[in-house]
Every structure is written in structure tokens, then in C-alpha cells.
Amino acid sequence: MQKVIAWQNGAIKLLDQRRLPLKVEYLACKKVEDLAVAIEGLAVRGAPLIGIAGAYGLVLGVWHSDAKNLGADFRKSYRRIKRTRPTAVNLFWALDRMEARFNSLIKSGVAAGSFKKKLLQAALDIHHDDAVTCGLIGRYGAELIKKNAVIITHCNTGELATGGIGTALGVISIAHKMGRVRSVYVDETRPLLQGARLTTWELARQKIPATLICDNMAASLMAAGKIDCAIVGADRICANGDFANKIGTYSLAVNARYHGVPFYVAAPLSTFDVALADGSRIPIEQRKPDEVRRFGQCRTAPGKIAVFNPSFDVTPGKLVSAMITEKGVIRPPFGRAIKGISG
Amino acid sequence: MQKVIAWQNGAIKLLDQRRLPLKVEYLACKKVEDLAVAIEGLAVRGAPLIGIAGAYGLVLGVWHSDAKNLGADFRKSYRRIKRTRPTAVNLFWALDRMEARFNSLIKSGVAAGSFKKKLLQAALDIHHDDAVTCGLIGRYGAELIKKNAVIITHCNTGELATGGIGTALGVISIAHKMGRVRSVYVDETRPLLQGARLTTWELARQKIPATLICDNMAASLMAAGKIDCAIVGADRICANGDFANKIGTYSLAVNARYHGVPFYVAAPLSTFDVALADGSRIPIEQRKPDEVRRFGQCRTAPGKIAVFNPSFDVTPGKLVSAMITEKGVIRPPFGRAIKGISG
């Protein structure tokens, strides 16, 4: 497994996902600002992985602090990392978990050197827990996959998005190991092509048969009966099952519903935000127009054309057949089911 | 109006649409093979325009022929041009019209010099007729557009796709001149980005407010109530109203139906192929995988990843609210309506 993120010698080493699949390059974040910029620029992305990165970022923020500055440096780092990306709730979940640990360490009166090590351990635990969570999600989700399944997926939800084998892509990996996956259609996922660049890369490494498509092709594949199910991740799931995920997810869900194709969402409990009643409350990150006008160095649209570039869309819970979490599979009605697992 | 295609000094001068919007460059096709390659490579594209190009191509094929070789050269050119692209029926309609004219000229015993001029006139007529047709479609279609309309469109269906102002984009142009269009959302239309590169360029030149989106964003715009109607072109329309159009059209149609958004198709009668009972009969061109693995000149996906790259998809007539032709607007049930206008 490629090291996607690691704490190394007082810095955060990150696989730079913007360079994939053509180049495998690493960044070393030595300051919180480096880490924040890496998150904002999608060098590191994927809801659970953003949370893990944020957790390490808070450790980085105090790693060189004097005892008297621990609190101020922590809070400053917290504020900076919190504002990197607004949609994926896993980031805030991780930051708040780290903050709780920080506060309890302060209360316990631990000496500075030991303090930092224990705070680092909290981040390492978040990282490790996510790997365990992925394994559970993979195991529960694989049960939904029937023999010889042809699956469609969107964005990237694998090792490059989590601390483990992934969420939706983790389900695919486990199901494939169980001999249940015939092949996977990969939505390229414009504008930033996480499907084309990252998911294809991961599937190729696992030797899972995969076919890359443009996002606008899923509908005709479904109409031709070529897709057995769709499985995606999530960035934030509300109390009623509405969820935000990478832009294009909602279009896929509508097509799945229209064609009677089961539509599954795989996500850890850290993605659930039950304080939000429904999807209309989810903040949707808008990103720079040039992501649509170009890709990388290739400009394709006129420079001045207005652009709409929301990074996420919201899918109503009513379009979801089942959700797969580390506590098992939940089914509609989601309001009740989510209450049941969130306790 | 930019000259998109013209007969000039015994050659076909073409605006090279692969270079747009960054460069305005022309090709001069001096041999049939040049023209055929230009069609295959999408230097010239758009269903009606392919027909016009094919017509000129047949003239090119005999322009330097001796009288005794006219027939053989014509048939050779016909065969070469016919196999360039299989889906848009306008090409075959134009080639067959030219063949009928060729045969009638042969019968009439006209001398070679005059023969070639008259054959050229037949191609010029096809070109000119298409411009008139576009004007009629634009006029009839604009009646469907309500005041302050926000319209979504797919691919390119304007001056770059026809011999005149366009089909779907022609409707938008006329409706805009009538003060009825607030703005246009442009599907970028992966993989070859005819929307991002060509439609944005055309709309900007007409100063029609336009916003570029990734194809996967239309659904969430519709869910937000931002789209008043969708209007697209067509490459082949069957007897029952099923039609083939640029890949991604069907996904847009499904979303339009799901969200209650009117979905219009604008196409000349030369696009109708009533010999085909339904959409399952339409040959769908498959194109090279690298069109999907790359974005413009940039490689974005791993070189060996399998790809699905149909250039068109088929939308059932039942998802269409109305069709706009040069004979007026027709509405469901299309079987009957198409019979009515095809006579």
C-alpha cells in the first residue's frame, strides 16, 4: 500500500495526488500553512483522509511550541485548518476529536514533551481507526455485491481518500477478493478527474478490471443493462439521509433511480452530521472557474467564459438503496436508521 | 459569420474546429482524402455540416476528372466519404442527393465543364438550403422559449455545426434576439468538449450570457430550479422519435424528465431516418480511447486503462417534449407526427 500520508520526523509526508497518475511525488509539510495549502489545493483529498491530515496538522501546529504557547498555537492551527474546505464533515470531526484530546491533556498537567507525543498518538489513532473502519465497511458492503457484478463508481474513495482501503472503493476491493466483481466502470469525475487519475490507478494496481468513462456516459450504460449497482462515498450525510458528495453524484443517483439500478453509499460514522436535518443545510464549496476552463495546463474553453463550479452536489436520501457504515448496512427510512447508529 | 466551410478555387476551405477556441485556423482540402480525414478527425463536425462537407467532397472528387472517368471517380469518392462517420444520417442524405443530381446530369448528356459547374451548384444549393432551414428552425423554435428563459444545451449546434445559424443554438440565437433568453448553461460535452470549445465561443461572439458547466452538473442545476428548458440537436431521428445525439444527451434527457424540465430537439428533416423503426437500429460510432484518457493535449488517465467511448447515445422519443423542424414544431406522439412531416 502506497503511503498516502505519514508523520515523519516532525513533518507530514503526503503523496501529492495532483500529480497522479503520471507521477508519484511526495510533499513534506513542515508548517501548518503547508498542510493547509495542500488540503486547499487537493494535493491531499477525500473526506476521511482530509480528517486524518487535519489531525496531523494540529500536531504539527504545536510540535515546536514552548509550553506556554501550546494553547495559542493549537487554536491558531485549528482555525487555519478548519477553513481549508467547508463541505466534508470528517475534517471538523477529526479537529474536534483532537481538540478534546488536547484539552484533556492540558487538564492532566502532562509535561510538554510527553504532551506532544500523546497528541501525536491521538492523530495516529484517528489514522489507524480509519483503516479499521474501512475494513469493516468493506466487509459489510461486500455482502451487497452479487456475483459477477458490474459496478459503477464516482470520484475516488480508495486508499487515496482514507486511512485504509477506502469506503466505496474498499467495498469493491473486498468484493473483488471474494470473486464477486466482474468489472468496474469509473466515472472520470470532472472537473478534477479523481476517477480518471486516481481510481483507475488504484484499480489497476489491484488488477481489478476497470473501464474509464466520461461522466455523461453512465446513463446509456444503465439503459443498456450493463450496470448492476452504483456505489459512492460521501462527504456529509444528514439526519434524513440526504448527503453531499463529489459533483456528479446526484446525476448518477437520478439515472440509477430512473433505470432501477441499486445505489449505495459507503461512509464511516464520522461522515454523518445529524445536527443537519436535511441536505439543504450542507455548505457546498465553490471552486475556481479555471478548473472547468482547463485541465492542468491545457486550456480548452475561452478564458473569460463564466463558469459554475460547485465541488459537491446533494443527493436526497430517497434515492439511496442502502448505506454501508462500520456499524453495518442501514436501509430506508434513513431518518430512523441513522438515529439508530448515531447513538 | 465566420466562414466555416467554402468552395474556393477547386478546393474546400474549412475552419479547423479542433483548434478552437484558442486558434482560428483553416484547412484547404484539395483531394477527397483530405476532406475525408478532416471529417474523421472532427476538424469539421456537426450533423448538417458533415452533410454539406460531404456534398462538396463529391464535387472535389470529380473536379479534375476526365469525362470518361467521371463515373468511376464519383463512385470512389462516394464510397470514401460515406465511410467517414456512421451515425449522422445527414451525411448520407447529402451524398444521395448529390448522387441523384450526378445521375441526372449524366443522363442529360451535359459537357464535362458544364457538368462540374452544375454539380458544384448542387452542393452550393445544399449549403444554402441548410442556411434557410436553420432560419426556419430558429423561428419556429423561438416560439417555445418563454421570456427570461434560462436554457441548457449540449454539444455544439450553431454556425459551426450547420450551413447557417444552427439548429438548437439557432433557436437560442433567435430567441435571444427576441429578448427571451436570460442565459444559457453550456454542457462542456466530454470527451471532445464541443460545448466548452465551440458553443461558448459562438455564444460569446453573439454576446449571449453563458455559463460553462461540467456535464455532471446539469442535474443539480435542475434540482435547484435554475433551468427552464433544455434544447439539443440530433444526428439521426427514427420513425418513432427515438434519436441519436452527442453522448451525454440521454443523461440530460433523463434528468430533464426527472425534474420536469421541457426537453426540445431541433433538427432539419434531413436528420430524420424514417426507415429506422426505433433507436436500437442506429449505428453508434465508437471512437479512440485516448479521447477519454486525455483532456485536450494533456494525458490524465493511465495509458493502458480500458475506455468506453461511444460518440453518441440514443434518447427515446418518450423523453422529448417537442421537436422543431423547418416545417414547424411537432409534439408527441411522434410516430404519427413524423409521418406527417416526412411525406
What ipTM does the predicted assembly reach? 0.95
Residue B43 has pLDDT above 90, yes or no: yes
The distance of Cα B45 from the centroid of its chain, to the nearest Å, equals 6
Q: Tell me the C-alpha distance between A293 and A307, whole Å.
A: 8
Cα B81 to Cα B34: distance, rounded to the nearest angstrom:
10
Within a 10 A sphere around the Cβ of B160, how many other Cβ atoms?
24
Q: Pinpoint the alpha helices (H) of B30-180.
A: 32-40, 47-62, 70-82, 89-108, 112-142, 168-177
On chain B, the residues whose CB falls within 8 A of the CB of A212 are 292-293, 301, 305-308
Q: What is the pLDDT of residue B60?
A: 98
Within 10 A of A75 (CB to CB), how many other CB atoms are there?
14
Res A82: pLDDT: 97
A306 Cα to chain B: minimum distance (Å): 5
Per-residue model confidence (pLDDT) at position A342:
86
End-of-domain residue from the set A135, A157, A188:
A135
pLDDT at A2: 63
Could you read off the pLDDT of B152-211 as tens digits, one per residue?
Answer: 999 999 999 999 999 999 999 999 999 999 999 999 999 999 999 999 999 999 999 999
pTM of the prediction? 0.96
In the sheet where B149-153 sits, what is the strand order?
A306-307, B210-213, B181-187, B149-153, B229-232, B263-266, B322-325, B328-330
Neighbouring C-alpha atoms within 13 Å toward the C-beta of A164 = 26
- Tell me which residue of B115, B108, B94 sits closest to B48, measured CA to CA: B94
Put simply, the answer to whether A296 touches B300 (Cβ < 8 Å) is yes
CA B182-B187-B189 angle, 5° bins? 155
Taking CB atoms and an 8 Å limit, are B306 and A250 in contact across chains?
no
Residues B155 and B124 in one domain: no
What are the DSSP calls for A288-306, one per residue?
A: -THHHHEETTEE-S-TT-E
How far apart CA B44 and CA B67 sit, in angstroms, is: 30
Q: Do A167 and A76 share a structural domain? A: no
Predicted local confidence at residue B250, as pLDDT = 98
Please identify every stretch of chain A with a pLDDT value under 70, giving residue numbers as ranges. Answer: 1-2
Q: Both B186 and B117 in a single domain?
A: no
Q: Hey, are the CB atoms on A220 and B310 less than 8 Å from each other?
A: yes
**CB contact (8 A) between residue B187 and residue A216:** yes
Q: Do B253 and B288 fall into the same domain?
A: yes
A222/chain B closest Cα distance in angstroms: 10
d(CA A215, CA B273): 29
Q: How far is CA B311 from CA B55, B192, B235, B249, in A?
A: 23, 9, 11, 11
- Asked, as a colleague might, if the bond just before A268 is cis with ω within 30 of 0, I would say no
Residue A204 has a CB neighbour count (10 Å cut-off) of 17
Chain centroid, CA A13 distance in Å = 18
Active site (catalytic) residues of A: 235
Residues A231 and A278 both lie in one domain = yes
Phi/psi at A13 (5° precision): -95, 125
| Among B328, B210, B308, CA closest to B266 | B328
Nearest partner of B164 among B199, B137, B188, B189, judged by Cα: B137
Nearest CA in chain A to B204: A305
Q: Are the C-beta atoms of residues A166 and A134 closer than 8 Å to each other?
A: yes
Cell of A205: 494496481
Neighbours of B49 (CB within 10 A): 28
Chain A interface, mutation test: which of B193, B305, B312, B315, most A Cβ atoms within 10 Å?
B305
Q: Give the contacts of B202 (CB within 8 A, at least 6 positions apart).
A: B156, B158, B159, B160, B166, B169
pLDDT-derived band at B72 (thresholds 50, 70, 90) equals very high
Let me know whether A276 and A332 are in one domain. Answer: yes
Shared domain for A13 and A154, answered yes or no, is no
Q: What is the pLDDT of residue A123?
A: 98
Residue B166 DSSP one-character state: -
B273 is catalytic: no
Q: Which positions ≥6 away from A323 have C-beta within 8 Å?
A: A237, A241, A264, A265, A266, A267, A329, A330, A331, A334, A337
Name the domain boundary from A135, A169, A194. A135
Give residue B199's pLDDT. Answer: 98
Task: Quote the CA–CA distance of A59 and A136 in Å, as a whole number.
Answer: 27
Q: Which of B190, B197, B250 sits opposite A219 (nearest CB)?
A: B250
Question: What pLDDT shows up at residue A297?
Answer: 81
CB pairs under 8 A between A and B: 183
Number of domains in chain A: 2
pLDDT of amino acid B342? 86
Q: How far apart are CA A108 and CA A104, in angstroms?
A: 6
**Other Cβ atoms within 10 Å of A33 Cβ, number:** 15
Question: pLDDT by residue (tens digit) across B232-266?
Answer: 999 999 999 999 999 999 999 999 999 999 999 99
> Across the interface, do B299 and A221 touch by the CB < 8 Å criterion?
no
| 8-state DSSP, B212 | E
Whether the Cβ atoms of residue A240 and residue A337 lie closer than 8 Å to each other: no
Q: What is the pLDDT of residue B2?
A: 63
Query: Measured between CB atoms, which of A212, A220, A254 is closest to B219?
Result: A254
Q: How confident is the model at residue B296 (pLDDT cuts 50, 70, 90)?
A: confident
CA distance A288 to A296: 13
Scanning chain A, the segments in alpha helix (DSSP H) are 32-40, 47-62, 70-82, 89-108, 112-142, 168-177, 194, 200-205, 218-223, 249-258, 290-293, 334-342
Residues 6+ apart with CB under 8 A from A134: A48, A162, A163, A164, A165, A166, A167, A170, A268
Q: Please list, residue by residue across B295-325, b when 16 or more beta carbons sit within 10 angstroms of its beta carbon and e when fewer do.
A: bbeebbbbeebbbbbbbbbbbbbebbbbbbb
- The grid cell for B87 is 451515425
> Is B306 in the same domain as B173?
yes
Coil, helix or strand at residue B306: strand
Same domain for A213 and A115, yes or no, is: no
CB spacing of B247 vs A216 below 8 angstroms: yes
When CB atoms are compared, the residue of A193, A298, A301 closest to B212 is A301
- Distance between CA B137 and CA B131 in Å, rounded? 10
Tell me: do B195 and B307 sit in the same domain. Answer: yes
Say if residue A307 is in the same domain as residue A205.
yes
Structural domain ending residue among the three candidates A115, A135, A155: A135
Closest by Cβ to A220, choosing from B193, B221, B313: B313
The mean pLDDT value of chain B amounts to 96
- Residue B260's H or E segment, with its range, is none
The CATH number of the domain holding residue B68 is 1.20.120.420
**The three-state (H, E, C) secondary structure of A196-248, written as one string:** HHHHHHHHHHCCCCEEEECHHHHHHHHHCCCCCEEEECCCEECCCCCEEEECC
- Boundaries of domain holding B83: 5-135
**Residue B147 C-alpha, separation from nearest chain A C-alpha, in angstroms:** 22
Find the closest chain A residue to B253 by CA distance. A219
DSSP character at residue B269: G
Task: Give, as one character, the DSSP assignment of residue B245.
Answer: E
Candidate from A209, A251, A258 with C-beta closest to B216: A251
Task: State how far residue B307 is from chain A, nearest Cα, in angstroms.
Answer: 5
How high is the pLDDT of residue B89? 93
Task: Give, in order, the Cα–Cα distances in Å from B340 to each of A47, A199, A206, B113, B328.
Answer: 56, 50, 57, 41, 11
Instruction: Check which CATH number belongs to the domain holding A272 and give it.
Output: 3.40.50.10470
Contact B302 A201 (CB under 8 A): yes
In tens, the pLDDT along B59-68 reads 999 999 999 9
Residue B295's pLDDT is 84
Residues A120 and A148 in one domain: no
The pLDDT tens digits for B123-137 are 999 999 999 999 999
Facing residues of B185 across strands? B152, B211
Cβ atoms of A266 and A232 within 8 Å: the answer is yes
